[in-house]
A and B are shown apart, each in its own frame.
Chain A
Amino acid sequence: MSALAGIRVIELAHERCAQVGKLLADMGADVIVVEPPEGAAMRRHGPFAGDEPDPERSLSWWHYNTSKRGMVLDWREGEGREALLALLQGADVLVEAEDPGVLACHGLDDAALTGALPRLIHVSVTPFGPDGPRSSDEATDLTLIASGGIAAVCGYDDHSLPPIRPMGGHGFLIGAHYAFMALLTALIERETSGLGQKIDVSLNAAANVTTELASYNWLVAEIPVMRQTGRHCGSVISMPTQYECTDGRYVNTGVPPRTGRQYETILKWFRDLGLDADFPETVFLEMGTQHPVLDLTKVGIDDEITAIYSAAREALAFASSRMTADQFFQSAQRAGLPVGIVYSPDEAFEDEHFRARGMQVTMNQPQLGRPVRYPGAPYAFEKTPWRLASVAPGLGEHTGDVLAEAGITAPGARKGD
């Protein structure tokens, strides 16, 4: 059995909430994504299969709409609106990301939704919430990353270079994750109360509380922070943690050793690799083994502590200059040091660990007549596994089925009419 089996979801197609529908559908909910007659805007987003810009070949659409059924319904029009309301009578959840006021102006205000349908959980994802001072602002993924505080802390030590928006639609994904958590919380509560409710999610608010120390350094102590290359922001410029290896790829050296045991680990790793003789600061690594816990409050004050602390970071940088990124990552981790390799997404996808974890899931892709590998489960459930039930729907693929199930013979005709 799937965790969300039997949960019927109506999703009004929008790039801001596509991930919410995917998370639901891949865990077993019956998600019906409702598109306008011209198709969802995301169908025109690349990349495209075979680089052919075609609404049935958008890989963004394919990714974000797995396991869903799809229908075409012009829900803003009178008859289409009636059909949507009829569908919602049999639904548990409505997920949408229309601009504030759009649903109400088409006769789908709160009274018509959660008011008339008391079991319905209505999740509304908007850039700035439904009614705040900036609720009518225009926003994209880029502008949300900027207003939400993420861009300010991503970038380079060189501040003549701009702050950076990490690619991947994270301005939408962050809000979608909170939206999904919220609707699951409401579903659990409904099991007891029998009642649904309206949930508002602000994408800007979501980004704002997803910046770790960039927010709480200010909240707690009004400490401003600045962006730094490939590592955490901070109030001062910190030592680098990202290094280029001999093959031109990068590694991340993580949090440096702090305990005597960790110094023993790094020293043993250096000796095993024969790097200890060449590394000029091996003596400080040896001294580090004598400290049960290095007193980091004395870094910069006590010369010996500072030298020991710096030596560990220097050691990792030194090692990265002597081997490939793969060698560094594998050998340091096997020695017990938490470090990372900066993989491109496809390199991660092909890595033996992710493959062994089932992170490649193959489905037959009708548009291509061949199997396609998709990214796998974000979580491994023992009893109610995540799965891909189907590829993303073609435009209007299930319109007839969905209307027939709801007893609607044609858009606009209510059941029993």
Chain B
Amino acid sequence: MLPKVPRETLLDLCRRMFIIRHFEESLVPLHEKGVFAGHYHLYIGQEATGVPALACLQADDYLFTTHRNHGHLLARGADPKRLCAEILGRSDGYNKGKGGSFHTVVPSLGFLHTSAVVAGIIPLAIGTAYASKALKNGRVTVCLFGDGALEEGAAPESLNLASLRKLPVLFLCENNGKYGAGRAAGAAQSPSMAVYPLTDLPRAYKIPTQQVDGADAGAVHALVSETVEKIRRGDGPSFIEAQTVRWPGSETNWPSVLQPTHSALAWDVSVVPEKVREWYRACDPVLIFVRELIEAKQATREEIAEIESKVKAEIAAAVNSAVASPYPPPEDAAKDYFA
């Protein structure tokens, strides 16, 4: 379903989903051509969680994200040029090339620190929440992580502390392993986590939990806005598990775009290679959102195509600008290691 927000907001959410999708799809050929180094992780397939969830927050709220951060930063309004430049290790990047894909921060948007250790941010998120409570500034912290983060000890220690101190923090776990191994047999979610459902873990620490279909933008928006409101008024922490179906392009260690996205796929997937067609037909959250907009007569196909084509031009320009950005002077590596 669609979020219950004005039409302009719906179209803006659609635009942000396209920004994420086309940004991420643009990175893959750059990496294949060797334009940037190292490993990286994409947010494709989770757009309908991050975009509506982050739309529920205030400008001064804190957010923490992980190695899979591009989508969260873009959903919150980060500049694709500077994000791309950071991923490419260039001086125009948000962290002047010192962070990279794993560690991009945008303090003005509430992202103070991005950890590539899967549960690294969870103790930090209860820390900003502790500070907000002590300073009585009404800020909520949203901690965005994947299902794998719950496998590290930092997670249960932090859940316990957050519950004991009634800290204003939302743990938003994006489980992109729906239909993963073992699930069909009614067994554990994955071969590496005995807790199932994942919400049993926070529940053991007396933290209220909810599950939501992460491809359902309206359900995510309704649940996160209601939950954040409760947290802001002092009810203590909450935990939401958003379930998404893993994008087939991420099945290997290195992402690959088997089918470039365009909005017409929302009503015709015949061009999609057969082995990934089902995901684009039934699971792609961006295409689901597009279909819902059209069915609800909030936008025409032409309007959607126009939004998408503007986004594609914006992303192409951002990528070009990032590629043209110089590398930082090597000697900067030895500077600015202390305040």
Partners in one complex: no
